[in-house]
Amino acid sequence: MRCLFLWLCAILCCNTVFGESDRDSLKVRLNPPSRLNLPAPALLVDSIPGAIVERLDDLYSKWYVTRLHEGNYVDSVYLMEYNSGPSVPDSVYLNRLDALNSAIKLSYNDIVRNYIELYTVRRRAQVGAMLGLSSYYFPMFEEVLDREGLPHELKYLPVIESALNPRAFSRAGACGLWQFMYGTGKMYKLEINSFIDERRDPVKSTEAAVCFLKDLYKIYEDWILVIAAYNCGPGNVNKAIRRSGSKKNYWDIYFHLPRETRGYVPAFIAAMYTFNYHKEHNIYPLENELPTMCDTIMISDALHFEQIAKLMDVSVEQIRDLNPQYRSDIVPAGFGKSYCLRMPYNHVGDFIDKQDTIFAYNRNSYFNDSDRTADPKNRFKKYAHAHAAPSNKAKLIYTVKSGDVIGKIAEKFNVRLSDLKYWNGMTKDRINIGQKMTVYVSKDKVAHYQSKIDAKYAGVAANAEVEAESLSEGEFFYYTIRRGDNLWSIAKKYPGVSNRDIMKWNGLSDRTAKNLKPGQKLKIKI
């Protein structure tokens, strides 16, 4: 009987402490679990790691304070410690959390209360700034969450992760609103390079975060555990579950989680409470420079923010704030790839009307397009005359003899090896005895080379005394067929030229093309 009595007492105590008879969630009514019912000072230190408070203050000082004019927006009420009389009773907090009717189970205990008071009492300025930004970012988050069928309450995660700062960068290397690590960002197909970091893109990063959250939910099927895993990784959550004896309730594995994660879920619940009941605590949104309405423009060519700012009534700073993913004030579009540019809604029409002028404005100073593309065919047209028929030069024909190497031949005529190879359409250094090689020398040096080189091996072309004419597009360059040549090998020497082109230019048929002979000249259009 004594055992039965003790068993019944234990059941009654558990139902009283946890209030599970009428709640699915672990809502600790007025008292948390006995193991969490620590003295207030000790609980405060344990439940709110200093790193979290320090990070919140750091993000605020780097992002918001620099954008607020002194005394314009920040009322003194935000900057002083809040003393509004007696504290809010636990029953009020609990009823307000219940009234949210959240799809994510919300717990309440002393730890959650400490975080609520962190936001509503000690960090009121930060909350006011984040409330102001939420009107811009939350609709983006909600749209993606709704499209993927995830709870809208997950929009409060970036409040904890980055304080709604798209440029937030942690010591561990996490970046953006959702604080993606480099590897995780790449895994979820976010583009990260010297010009763009889509971890800072509000829409792209939200889409990646939603995919990550969906993957975590497939593992745990519990949104509170998903939120914990988002912070510390599924490995740490799985380890905590094993150490707790395979329990899958956040508060059951609480002390087995990393210290920061212990505060992460309570901070999430507190942020959700604060954003919904900020008026009850006399906290109101601070103004910011982000427009309430924006639209997206697709950019298909490289564009600098200053090109826009110089011709439109919008500042570079505002363009940066709307497009934080671009690291160097450049939209790196072009080569068949387009990127999005967010602009204030009232400026979109003006941009479309002026876009030709905007793209052309001081383009050479922002982008050096001269070497942006390298068209081999155009480069051949540009340099063919310089190498194939230099002006004020005489053309010599040198016959390769035994013992010759191409470097020595170039040295004999005092020309560059690269020029000699180019004049003769050579890609390798191999030469054959008896091979005819074209060399261009100064006209006043023809006699010198004739006396220096045995006439048996060198001579002056018939047009040696005639200054070469400049070649222009549409003119023909004449190629002398050598032993072993065929149309395919000849065409390879001239970028953009095919063997069919050579047949067309020279009136060759399939039959006559097979009977080409060394010494025969072919026209090559350049």
For residue 364, give the H/E element and its range: helix 363-366
- Does the active-site annotation cover 161? yes
Which of 117, 153, 161, 198 is flagged as catalytic? 161
Distance CA(34)–CA(18), nearest Å, equals 10
Q: Tokens in use for 166?
A: 């798209």
Measure the CA–CA gap between 199 and 185, rounded to whole angstroms.
7
One-character DSSP codes across 416-466: -HHHHHHHTT-SSS---TT-EEEEEEEGGGHHHHHHHS-TTTEEE-TTTTS
Q: Which residue in 202, 52, 208, 35 sits closest to 119, CA to CA?
A: 52
Which one, of 218, 224, 208, lies nearest residue 145 by Cα? Answer: 208
d(CA 365, CA 307): 10
Q: Token digits for 140?
A: 């983006």
Cα→Cα distances 29→15, 19, 99, Å:
11, 7, 15
Q: In sequence order, what are the residues at sequence separation of 6 or more whose Cβ sits closer than 8 angstroms to the Cβ of residue 45? A: none
Q: In angstroms, rounded to a whole number, what is the distance separating the alpha carbons of residues 123 and 155?
A: 20
CA dist., res. 163 & res. 57, Å (int): 9
CA dist 457 and 455 (Å) reads: 5
Known catalytic residues? 161
